[in-house]
Structure 1
Amino acid sequence: MGLDIRTIYMMNAVVYLMLHGIIWVSLARYKNRVVTLWSVWGMVSAAGVVLLGSEGLVPDWVVAVFGQVLMAAGNFGRQYAMRSIAGNPSVRWLWRQGLSNLAYLALNGTLFFSGADRAQMMVVFFAFYAINCIDYFFAGRAIARRRGSPGARSVQWSGLVFSGTLSVKCLSVGLGWGAQDLYDPSWDQVVLFTGQFLAISLVNFGFMQIQIDQFQQERVKTELALAVQRDRAVLAERNSLDLTQLLREREEIVRRLTLSNKSAGMGALVSGIAHEINQPLTTMVLKTELIETYLRDGQPETVEVRGLCEQIRKDTHRAAGMIKTLRNMFASPGARTERLDFAGLLRDVVGMVRSHADRQGIAVTLKVPQQLWFWGDATKLQQVVLNLLNNAIQAFATKDVLQPSIVLNCQLVEGWVELQVQDNGCGIDVAAQDDVFALFKSPRSHGMGVGLWLSQSVVQDHGGTIEFTSTPGQGTVFVLRLPVRDSGAQIS
């Protein structure tokens, strides 16, 4: 028939190399493991086909051993890559395909080295691959079910063409109807190589189509994910603006409640504050009258007059200090962080409530260092301490205590400023303890339910905590903890 079968084998190898090389180069930018496996093992198959076409040019045992091993390995590698598209190949498949390939290679080697007939070895060769290559059909079907790519149909047809043409070749050799030697020209060789070229093209184009479809689907998913992320970013920005507005409104509510709570808290202390301010003013009037008496009688006692003037100056400073403290407590509660002496702040607030507590027979004890410097909002922290002291004083309104007392103990503990406000009053009812910090809920019938909620908000804004323990009938301890931060608290 004028066919040069050896040349056709080499052409077949070139087709293998070209198609797998094109796939590798074209899809290299995706850096896909399956593409690499397919391309590399396709080239291994091409090397095996080259050896099959080199009989007479190389020793027969090289063709029988290395040619068969390369073809089996290349075909198994490509089947593994194809199966991987639909998911990781099952262990059962790996064992079946691996053992069948090893069994074939062992049988082929046994036949060759035992001197078996060439036609017999060809029947075994074509029969094995006719059965083995039908796996492409099943792999294509699995891919079609999982991904629905049009390329899967090409893979299925390639499996049928591979298996069909190899079966024809196997039967023709076995029944003596075709070429009995590997390179004999015959009609069955035409069928074989036509089927091979067609099947190789179908399986490679199908593989490429599947991969391109997969990459396109992943690209679409990525673009959709990016679109969702953009939408979420826009929504987050809108929510951020809404949250900013809500925070401003919350800040305004806190500001108004602070002013309201200050007014309510100071109401009970007005008489005591009036007494504290009236005391130095009365003393100043008396001392001024005494100085006038000295001057009117013409008996200027220089030493005594100077002493009286010094006392007047001290009383004036005392009254001015009280007024300054009041002005600070009623200042606008806008955020103003500054370096403050927390010990001095406690002394000022205790000084405001002491007269009120003394009139009710309540002993107020303050245990603080001489100075305790850290960063915070003095006005808001004054309000917190005032709330805690007012609550402690009110704890004695419904209970007669032999020695009512309030103890404030402030110290620096492991990087935290810790203030304990302890009283031995009526305590907080167990049923009301869960709502102590709730807004508009108060354990007292006449309470507003604002002070402790506001105190907690202020403390949390400073990064601190406020907790309490209370035993009904025995008293309550509030513990306020504020972080030192990196400013470095100084204690002396």
Structure 2
Amino acid sequence: MNIDVQTIFWMDAFLYLMLHAAIWYGMARYRSGLVALWSVSGLFSALGVWVLGCRGIFPTDAVVFWGVLFMALGNLGRQAALRSLDGPADRHWLWGMGLFNGVYLLATYGFYFSGGTEDGVILLFYGFYTLNCLEYVVSGRRIAATHDPFGSRAVQSAGWLLVGSLGVKTATLLGGWGAVDLYEMSWDQAVVFGGQFVAITMLSVGFMQIFVDQMHKAQIQAEQGLAREQERSALLQQHSEDLSVLLSEREEIIRQLTLSNKSAGMGALVASIAHELNQPLTTIVLKTELIEAHLRKKGDPAVAEAEANKLAALIRDDTRHAAAIIRTLRSMFATGKGEFERMDLAALVQDVIDIVRARAERCEIELDVDLKTPLPLTGDVTQLQQVVLNLLNNAIDALVEKPGQPSRIGVTGVLRPGFVDLKISDNGCGIDPSQQADVFALFKTSKSQGMGVGLWLSQSIVASHRGLLDFESEAGKGTVFLLSLPSHEYVLVS
């Protein structure tokens, strides 16, 4: 009869081993610490049940010590795994359950190794697990709030089944109605083993169901997160494309404003340009007539030829001067799309000064130019010509508004490490402090005929060259504009 009960112990151990091995194998792809903890706990329980079934094969002391210890470790591990399904188990719970199991082990070992009977050890064993297995009921209820109801009901049912079957065994031991010996076959032993077979199966199935449900939810959340990231990425891509379009439109607007503002600014220079061109053209006509007159004379042919050559050289110089003015105007009205090239800022400034010089002289304004040459940088010639033209025109306008004193515009250019600096100053009326904050604002101007575009456009152009345009002004004393541009060979346009 004893061997039959021992066989049941070993069958129970085999059931523990197979169920938890199946969970380990079936969920290996998840590489989860919870699955590992559940499977290792099943291995400890299997060892515990197997050792308890080996009395007579191993010394009784070893059976009691190791069997009780392995069973406690296996049961505590499963309970910790269930508590950790939604994150690390609560530290207070771990300490409490650890203390509860520790007290049980100390009580069992103290009782047995101080001369207590096996009957007392068995009573302590079943009484402890009757109370301990209530934890499965509590865990099942907690899990029901967030996980699959089938799995949580399986855990709760397994807990109640363990509490009921173990409670029956505890009651029979206390009342003397059931088997006292560990291997004695009786009805209460059948209740315990039957309940344990069913309960451990339900616990394993419930754990697998809950864990798979958890992984499924995590997968759904990951897919939703990926979908959101993809949507966000697509949105960012769309924004990037929209921004590129806006930047292109901005460049085109700047180009168009450069041309329109240049045209408006050139209106004030038409008379001066006409005067500037009329001078060489008039002298060309006069000198041509002089050549014809010398050729008609019947004097010494050598003298006539010498005079004609001298006049022809003067005509050539006047023609070159007129051609230079025309070339400068043509470049200033060019319709390029902001192509950057290596250039000399000093030569560019000098070309613009040649255009405004006639207007300045007509307004009795002295131009004091000091350009350290060369001033190499990379930029768009047309746009930078517009900036310099705006600054010079503004300086002339400021001096025209303050008549009655010697007027002077200073233009200085220097090269410093990494930058080219251009300073344009005037001794005009200055900028009112209340208006200085809006100097570079679009459509804001203190001029009665102004558009409020020039300085805003100039600052935009300089910013696209990665440069800086700033000013200092004192009312009644004048204004200084400082243009600072990188002198390195390549400039990235924003």
Query: Any residues of structure 2 matched to 1:234-245 within 5 Å, and which?
Result: 234-236=234-236, 239=239, 242-245=242-245
C-alpha distance after superposition, 1:368-409 (max 9, x if no partner)? 331233322111111122122222222234335744433334
Does the alignment pair 1:370 with 2:373? yes
Tell me the residue number matched to 2:337.
334
Asked whether the equivalents of residues 86 and 142 of structure 1 are also in contact (C-alpha less than 8 Å), the reply is: no
**Equivalent residue number for residue 14 of structure 1:** 14
User: For residue 163 of structure 2, what is the aligned residue in structure 1?
Assistant: 163
Q: Which residue of structure 1 lines up, in the alignment, with residue 128 of structure 2?
A: 128
1:120, CA displacement in angstroms? Answer: 1.0
Amino acid at match of 1:377: D
Q: Does 1:46 align with 2:46?
A: yes
Compared CA separation, residues 87 and 356, structure 1 to 2 (3 A): same
Which residue of 2 is the match for residue 37 of structure 1? 37
1:467-486 superposed matches below 5 A: 467-484=470-487
Q: Which whole-Å deviations, capped at 9, do the CAs of 1:336-384 have from their partners, x for residues lacking one?
A: 2222222221221222223322333333334433123332211111112
| CA deviation map 1:63-87 (0-9, x unaligned) | 3333333332232222222111133
Structure 1: 5+ residue runs without aligned partners? none
- Distance in 2 separating the partners of 1:424 and 1:147: 82
Are 1:464 and 2:460 matched, yes or no? no
Which range is displaced more, 470-479 or 329-338?
470-479
Q: Is 1:351 the counterpart of 2:354 in the alignment?
A: yes
User: In the superposition, relative to structure 1, how do residues 190 and 333 fare at CA in structure 2: closer, same or farther (>3 Å)?
Assistant: same
Distance in 2 between residues matched to 1:159 and 1:75, nearest whole Å? 12
Amino acid at match of 2:338: A
Does structure 2 conserve the Cα–Cα contact (< 8 Å) formed by 1:34 and 1:81?
yes
8 Å contact from structure 1 (residues 6, 53) kept in 2: yes
Q: Count matched residues.
A: 488
The CA distance in 2 between the partners of 1:474 and 1:26, in whole Å, is 89
Shift in Å at residue 458 of structure 1? 2.0
Match of 2:392 in 1: 389
Q: Which residue of 1 aligns with 2:323?
A: 320
SS at match of 1:146: coil
SS at match of 1:63: helix
Identity %: 49
Aligned-residue CA RMSD in angstroms?
2.8
Distance apart, 1:323 and its partner CA? 0.8
- Tell me if the contact between 1:439 and 1:453 (Cα under 8 Å) persists in the aligned partners: yes
Deviates more, 1:33-42 or 1:408-417: 408-417
Displacement of 1:231: 4.0
TM-score scaled by length of structure 2: 0.89
Shift of 1:141: 1.7
Pick closer, same or farther for the CA change 1:474–1:125 going to 2, 3 Å: farther
SS at match of 2:89: coil
CA contact (8 A) 1:149 1:213 kept: no
> What is aligned with 2:219?
219
TM-score, normalised to structure 1, is 0.89
Contact 1:368 1:411 in 2 (8 A): yes
Amino acid paired to 2:353: V
Flag the 1:404–1:55 CA change in 2: closer, same or farther, 3 A: farther
1:179-223 Cα distance to aligned partner (Å, 9 max, x none): 223222222221112221222122211111112112222222233
What does residue 254 of structure 1 align with?
254
Partner SS for 1:410 = strand
Q: 1:306 to 1:122 in 2, by over 3 A?
A: farther
Moved more, 321-330 or 20-29: 20-29
**CA spacing shift, 1:474–1:3, aligned 2, 3 Å:** farther
For residues 416 and 63 of structure 1, the distance between their equivalents in structure 2, rounded to whole angstroms, comes to: 89
Residue identity in the other structure for 1:444: K
Superposed displacement of residue 280, structure 1: 3.0
CA gap of 1:317–1:216, structure 2 versus 1, over 3 A, is same
Cα deviations across residues 221-254 of structure 1 (Å, max 9, x unaligned)? 2333333344445555555555555445444433
Contact 1:258 1:333 in 2 (8 A): no
Q: Which stretch of structure 1 is more off in the superposition, 326-335 or 437-446?
A: 437-446
Q: Hey, what's the Cα distance between the residues in 2 that align with 1:2 and 1:446?
A: 118
Which residue identity lines up with residue 453 of structure 1 in the other structure? W
Q: Tell me, in whole angstroms, the C-alpha distance in 2 between the residues paired with 1:296 and 1:91.
A: 121
CA distance in 2, matches of 1:66, 1:486: 82
Distance of 2:84 and 2:416 partners within structure 1: 62
Deviations 1:291-330 (A, max 9, x none): 4444333443466654544443333222211111100110
CA-to-aligned-CA distance 1:245-267 (integer Å, 9 cap, x gap): 54454444333322210111111
Partner of residue 118, structure 1:
118
Residue of structure 2 in register with 1:424 after alignment: 427
Report the counterpart of residue 102 of structure 1 in structure 2. 102
1:370 alignment partner, SS class:
coil
In 2 relative to 1, CA 271–219 (structure 1 residues): closer, same or farther, beyond 3 Å? Answer: same
Structure 2 SS opposite 1:185: coil
User: Are the structure 2 counterparts of residues 145 and 263 from structure 1 closer, same or farther at C-alpha, using a change threshold of 3 Å?
Assistant: same
Counterparts in 2 of 1:116 and 1:457: CA distance versus 1, 3 Å: same
Q: Which moved more, 1:79-88 or 1:270-279?
A: 270-279
On the 8 A contact 2:372/2:415 being kept in 1, the answer is no
The change in CA–CA distance for 1:209 and 1:339 in structure 2 (over 3 A counts) is: same
* Separation of aligned partners in 1, 2:471 and 2:141: 70
Partner SS, residue 420 of structure 2: strand
Question: In structure 2, what is the equivalent of residue 443 of structure 1?
Answer: 446
Mapped partners of 1:253, 1:28: distance in 2: 63
Q: Which amino acid aligns with 2:423?
A: Q
